[in-house]
Structure 1
Amino acid sequence: MGTVTRFDSFAEFDPFAEHERTRAALRDVVPRLVRLLQGVRDMDAPSGVPVWTVGDVGAHLAGVHFAYSVGFTDESVEWDGLLPPDDGRSFGERIAAMNATSIGLFSGEERAGLGDFVSERSEMFLRVTEGLSPDTPVTAPWLGKESALTLAAATGLMLSETLVHGLDIARGAGLPWPIGPEEASLVLGQSMPTLMPLALDTAKARGVDIAFDLAIKGGPRLAVVIDDGTATVTRDAPPRAYDCRITAAPVAFLLVSFHRMPIWKAIARGQMRAGGRRPWLAMRLGELIASP
Structure 2
Amino acid sequence: MTAAVPQDSWHVVRTALRGADERFRAMLVAAPDAGAPATAQWSIAESAAHVLSIAQLYVFLLEEGAEPLPVPGIEGILSTTNVDTVADVNDYVLRYFTERDAAVLAERLGTAVGRILAATEHTDPRTPVRWLGDSLVPVAGVLAHLVNELLVHGWDIARALRVPWPMPDEHAALYWELFFLGMLRLEYGALLNMSLKMPRRPTAVQFRSAFTTTETIVLGDGRVWIAPPGHPHDVRVWFRPARFNLLLFGRIGTAHAAVRRDVVVGGPRPWRLPGFLRVVHMPNGRLAPPRTGS
Structure 1 length-normalised TM: 0.84
SS at match of 2:212: coil
Asked if the contact 1:267–1:273 (Cα under 8 Å) also holds between the matched residues in 2, the reply is yes
Structure 2 length-normalised TM: 0.83
SS at match of 2:31: coil
Residue equivalent to 2:83: 92
| Runs of at least 5 residues in structure 2 that lack an aligned partner in the other structure | 284-294
Residue equivalent to 1:6: none
How far apart are residue 184 of structure 1 and its match?
1.3
C-alpha separation in 2, matches of 1:88 and 1:35: 33
Residue equivalent to 1:215: 208
C-alpha separation in 2, matches of 1:31 and 1:106: 21
SS at match of 1:238: coil
SS at match of 1:240: coil
**1:26 equivalent in alignment to 2:17:** yes
Aligned mate of 2:197, from 160, 184, 204: 204
SS at match of 1:241: coil
Aligned mate of 1:131, from 119, 122, 126: 122
C-alpha separation in 1, matches of 2:5 and 2:83: 31
SS at match of 2:113: helix
Distance 1:44 1:82, change over 3 A: farther
C-alpha separation in 1, matches of 2:70 and 2:136: 15
Letter of the 1:68 counterpart: Y
| Runs of at least 5 residues in structure 1 that lack an aligned partner in the other structure | 1-12
C-alpha separation in 2, matches of 1:159 and 1:51: 22
Aligned mate of 1:63, from 47, 50, 53: 53
How far apart are residue 289 of structure 1 and its match?
2.2
C-alpha separation in 1, matches of 2:112 and 2:263: 35
C-alpha separation in 2, matches of 1:139 and 1:84: 11
Asked if the contact 1:206–1:228 (Cα under 8 Å) also holds between the matched residues in 2, the reply is no
**Larger CA deviation: 17-26 vs 73-82:** 73-82
Residue equivalent to 1:183: 171
**1:244 equivalent in alignment to 2:235:** yes
SS at match of 1:221: strand
C-alpha separation in 1, matches of 2:81 and 2:68: 24
Asked if the contact 1:59–1:104 (Cα under 8 Å) also holds between the matched residues in 2, the reply is no
Aligned mate of 1:155, from 140, 143, 148: 143
**Larger CA deviation: 240-249 vs 171-180:** 171-180
C-alpha separation in 2, matches of 1:88 and 1:127: 26
C-alpha separation in 1, matches of 2:99 and 2:108: 15
Distance 1:102 1:112, change over 3 A: farther
Letter of the 1:172 counterpart: A
C-alpha separation in 2, matches of 1:78 and 1:250: 31
Matches within 5 A, 1:106-117: 106-108=97-99, 110-117=101-108
Letter of the 1:212 counterpart: V
RMSD of aligned C-alpha atoms?
A: 2.6
